[in-house]
Amino acid sequence: MTRVFSGIQPTGEIHLGNYLGALRNWQKMQHECDAVYCIVDLHALTVPQDPKELHAATLRMAQLLLATGIDPEKATMFVQSHVREHTEGGWLMETTVSFGELRRMTQFKDKSERADFISAGLFTYPALQAADILLHDTEEVPVGEDQKQHIEITRDIAERFNSRYGETFVLPKAVIPKTGARVMDLQNPENKMSKSAESPQGLVKLLEPLKSIEKKFKRAVTDTETEVRYDPAAKPGVSNLLSILAAVTDGDPHELAKGYTQYGPLKTDTAEAVVEAIRPIQARYEELANDPAETARLLGLGADKAREVAARTIARAKKNLGLLEG
Ligand code: TYM
């Protein structure tokens, strides 16, 4: 079975971009693959966090993943800081990646421009991500478009390590969905939808009231023309709605465009399709939120499974590096 690994940060509100770009695929892939999904709390620490909020957000994220259909009987779901091998692997990756490679990462450039405090961890972030992926002998990484560069650098690190120290890591590749890989902000459709959105109206959160989601779609920015056509460069707002509708209904944005002559019905249909996709997730989440002890138990089981594989890979890497057995 294909080995799959992916991760998500626990902080900030989980949004439609996370769902369509990654989580829907996570859910699908767990049926055909040997899937491992990680809540990357250590990555969240690359920017200052409120401890209480981080604690609550991590549990909440686990419940939300379960609510989107991740089945702990099928997939391994765990919290990054529960498996120490990830931190250890992060160091091995830091010594394999170059300063120049890290400096070219667009995520670092974006985030460091906005940050008051730029931690060293924000800079070495991709090394820890490479460890996450490589420790699990990962073949495929289901992610949104924005993570492509991180998967490419992971491959480069693995190749370099293997050629210096002998065959150690499997080379992973990104799996990016055909539609929904880059969901854009509903108010600023030139920018990707993200937790740090300028206006809350542009961000569709998975756990917000369904009525409010509907309103956000109805107020989505389009353009002054009237033609419905899928053309992301010329018509970013309309194309974003078509992509979202296509992702949710497993359709094709060009085909869907043919069914509309006005923006209004496109907005209404997209809102409805999104609301219907999110409704069951919210209902399951409400149930799970009442039982934090059960969530913690499932995370414990996940960590045990993840540790087994990660420890084996770390041992192999350390041996190949020539580190003395302890
Ligand atoms: P994170 O937490 O920012 O996002 C989680 C997933 O959501 C996708 N995503 C989007 N997809 C489509 N449209 C959008 N607007 C959008 N915004 C976010 C992301 O591509 C991602 O798949 N560095 C990672 C976490 C990570 C990881 C890993 C991922 C740590 N280790 C190992 C894969 C493998 C991140 O910050 O994702």
> Would you call 257 helix, strand, or coil by DSSP?
helix
Phi, psi of 151 (to 5 degrees): -75, -35
Quote the tokens at residue 3. Answer: 């080995």
Annotated catalytic residue 195: yes
d(CA 54, CA 294): 19
User: Which residue is catalytic, options 28, 74, 195, 305?
Assistant: 195
Complete domains list, the chain, with CATH:
3-180+292-321 (3.40.50.620), 200-286 (1.10.240.10)
> CA-CA distance, 175 to 324, in Å (whole number)?
37
Tell me what pLDDT residue 315 has: 98
* 111 assigned to active site: yes
Q: How far is the CA of 239 from the centre of ligand 1 (A)?
A: 22
193 CB less than 6 Å from ligand 1? yes
Ligand 1 atom with minimal separation from the 133 CA: 32
**Number of residues that this document lists for the chain:** 326
Distance 91 CA to ligand 1 centre (A): 22
SS3 category, 323? coil
Q: Report the C-alpha gap between 219 and 202 in whole angstroms.
A: 9
Residue 73 backbone zone (phi > 0: left; psi -120 to 50: alpha; other: beta): alpha
Answer yes or no: is the C-beta of 197 below 6 A from any ligand 1 atom.
no
The pLDDT score that the predictor gives to residue 195 is 86
Q: Let me know if 319 is a catalytic residue.
A: no
On whether the pTM is more than 0.85, the answer is yes
Q: What is the pLDDT of residues 115-143, one digit of tens each?
A: 899 999 999 999 999 999 999 999 999 99
Mean pLDDT of 243-266: 97
Confidence band (pLDDT; 50, 70, 90) for 198?
A: confident
For ligand 1, the distance from its centroid to the CA atom of residue 226, given in whole angstroms, is 34
